[in-house]
Amino acid sequence: MVLHCRNSITPLLARTFAVRRTGRLQCDAMRFTKLHGLGNDYLYVDCFAESVEDPPSVARATSDRHRGVGSDGLILLLPSEAADVRMEVYNADGSRARMCGNGIRCLAKFAYERQRASANPMRIETDSGVLEASLTVENGSVAAVRVDMGRPSLEPADIPCTLDVERLVDHPLVIAGRTYQATCVCVGSPHVVAFVDDLASVDLHAVGPLFENAAIFPDRINAHFASAVAADRVLMKTWERGSGVTQACGTGASAVCVAGAVTGRSGRRITAVLPGGELELDWDDNDHVWMTGPAVEVFSGDW
């Protein structure tokens, strides 16, 4: 798939174009690759070779599923002085995300297969710190990645949340007239998890934005709804801050693992079943959450 824009351009993308002496605007082609983790799809740009002058605008334009390429956001692969590579994440609305669980697995695959990093485990710098990713390589291709997501936090200040409580665990939140038992967990990015008896009854498009933009979350939040069908198996679906309904969320699944364990609904090692597939989560005795799942390349093109 090749996308060219030469003569007709939108103001949204104007900052990514160079003005020639003739006064015409000429598109500098940006090479991208689309990858997904359980359907949570992002466009990746190798910034060892490319430059993206205005990532928020590019994220908004390229993520549009009707007028762009279509994705949940934009992820940049960059050099790092603190690790093997660096990851920058921009949501579909152009906002910057601290971390992305499915995104970091795909970035590890992208970096390894593009020979930008050969270490295994690979150390990846994010806005939430340096994380370690162990790659399962088959015939030179990365099939799956296990990521040390670090120590989760239940502190309201790390979300942040304005409620005056020590920990927001099974706390009643009233949203659109319905009371949810909510647990807030920061796993690189902020999440609120509500366990419900009937997952199918949750209208994500209606309730997701209300959770995301609730006044008690001044920086907005990712919202997840879950149902534990066994001690080691949890069904969930996700509304992501800045992107809306997504097929999967790696940091969110990590948060669901922690929320289920601290409320006694599930164990510390679970399979999270998302619309896009399954992730394996393990909250170990050293207080680190480990996430394991696939990474898939879809196609490359020029924007």
Which residues are known to be catalytic? 100, 249
End-to-end CA distance of the chain: 10
Q: Which residues contact 285 (CB under 8 A, 6 or more apart)?
A: none
Q: Which among 148, 185, 194, 44 has a CA at the least distance from the CA of 106?
A: 44
**Dist CA 241 CA 209 (whole Å):** 8
| DSSP type of residue 81 | S
156 cis-preceded (ω within 30 degrees of 0): no
Burial (0-12, 13-18, 19+ Cβ within 10 Å), 3:
middle
| DSSP type of residue 101 | H
For CA atoms 248, 168, 133, 53, the dihedral sign is positive
Q: Which two tokens stand for residue 133?
A: 């990713």
**Dist CA 93 CA 51 (whole Å):** 20
Q: Which residues contact 195 (CB under 8 A, 6 or more apart)?
A: 181, 225, 226, 227, 228, 259, 260, 263, 265
**Helix/strand/coil percent split, the chain, to 5:** 20, 40, 40
> What SS3 class is residue 201?
helix
Helix (H) / strand (E) containing 95: none
Q: Which two tokens stand for residue 225?
A: 């709804």
Q: Tokens 């669980």 sit at which residue?
A: 101
